[in-house]
Amino acid sequence: MKSLRNSLRSFAKDESGVLLAEFLLLIPFMIWGFVALFVYWDVFRTINVTQKAAYSVADLLSRQAVVTPEFVDGLQSVLAFLTPGTPDSRIRITSMEYDAGDDEYDLLFSRSPGGKVPEHTSVSIQLLKPQIPIMDDLDSVIIVETWVDYVPSFDTGLLNMTPGVDNQTFMQFIVTRPRTRRLCLAGSVTCV
């Protein structure tokens, strides 16, 4: 009986193999943490790339006085090129002028290549007032709106206890002043 007691005591005090057991318990969390950091970094990279692409398109448009429908439609390809690795991207270009007498915006044109996004109307641009800087009479602005879809490479949710990164769409709303008086669409009545 004494030897059995001694054997049990020595077994209870023996700590060999504890490091391996701890490693086996922690390795799944370490792998999850590494994958989660990769996914979160990729989300912020995509947001950054999306924002830079939208500003690049807005800057390109601000240097124009008159654009053709083909030019505007080609900006969809520019956006897709500037946002590689994203499944889908959409863009809407709107040019408008402020009429101080009526205290409202006059739509010069609104166009979405491929009709992926509904174009603005004279009524819908009035709803953008909180997002547009204060303008003087007959000032004009170009609004570039982009939507870029993001699909994470891995599911970072942990056993339904922590939320992971879901599929999402990153939207940019860029207001730019043209370097000329206004930006017109060739062939439209606003280009007179």
133 falls within a domain? yes
DSSP characters over 42-63: HHHHHHHHHHHHHHHHHHHHHT
Write out the residue range of the structural domain in which residue 84 sits: 13-191
Burial 109-123, CB ≥16 within 10 A → b, else e: bbbbbeeebeebeee
124 falls within a domain? yes
Helix (H, G, I), strand (E, B) or coil at 150: strand
38 falls within a domain? yes
pLDDT of residue 55: 95
7 falls within a domain? no
CB 87 within 8 A of CB 151: yes
pLDDT of residue 17: 66
117 falls within a domain? yes
Return all residues near 160 (Cβ < 8 A) that are at least 6 apart.
Answer: none
3 falls within a domain? no
pLDDT of residue 56: 94
pLDDT of residue 96: 92
184: buried, middle or exposed (CB in 10 Å: 19+, 13-18, 0-12)? buried
187 falls within a domain? yes
Q: Which residues of the chain have pLDDT under 50?
A: none
pLDDT of residue 162: 63
How many domains in the chain?
1
126 falls within a domain? yes
